[in-house]
Each structure stands twice: as C-alpha cells, then as structure tokens.
C-alpha cells in the first residue's frame, strides 16, 4: 500500500521511465482502438526475459496489461480485437 504522496509521485515517474525506455527499445508495445477519432480501448504488452526453462528455451515472456475499454463501448469485441 502506498501511504506517502511522495511514493505515488516516485511510482509515477518510475513507471513512465520504464515504459518510455521499453517502448523505445521495442520491448513494450501499446495498441489503441478508436471510434470517431477518440480512443475507446487500449492494451499494452511488455516483453521480458527470464532464464530458459523446459517449455520455454528462449526465456521470452510478456505481460499483457492495461487492457481497458471505455464503458460505453464495452461488449463490442474491442478488447478481443486489440488482443
């Protein structure tokens, strides 16, 4: 739990730095869905590496995060299309 407002600011800064660096290197990608030139859905995929293991000798894995659709546009397959 974050109790100190400075922690929130530090987390926000660290998160921005992480995604900026990862996006520039191609290890993080984000997609958006639009309707009438407005963003109505988003998703981000952040790639990372871990040591190879059985079933994944390359060690490449990814997190799918921040999948979101504006409530008025839900249940129309937007998230499914993005993912």
Tokens of residue 32, six digits: 């958006």
What pLDDT does 37 receive?
93
Determine whether 15 is exposed, middle or buried from the number of CB atoms within 10 Å of its CB (0-12, 13-18, 19+).
exposed
What pLDDT does 2 receive?
66
pLDDT averaged per 10 residues, the chain (length 83):
76 90 91 93 93 95 93 90 86
Domain ranges of the chain: 27-82
Q: What are phi and psi of 53, to 5 degrees?
A: -150, 165
Q: What is the model's pTM?
A: 0.72
Does the domain at residues 27-82 carry the CATH identifier 3.40.630.30? yes
What pLDDT does 38 receive?
93
């Amino acid at each position: 739990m974050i109790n100190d407002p400075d922690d929130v600011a530090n987390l926000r800064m660290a998160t921005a730095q992480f995604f900026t660096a990862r996006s520039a290197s191609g290890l993080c990608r984000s997609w958006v869905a639009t309707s009438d030139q407005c963003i109505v859905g988003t998703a981000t995929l952040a790639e990372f590496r871990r040591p190879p293991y059985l079933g994944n000798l390359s060690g490449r894995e990814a997190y799918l995060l921040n999948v979101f659709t504006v409530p008025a546009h839900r249940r129309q397959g937007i998230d499914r299309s993005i993912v």
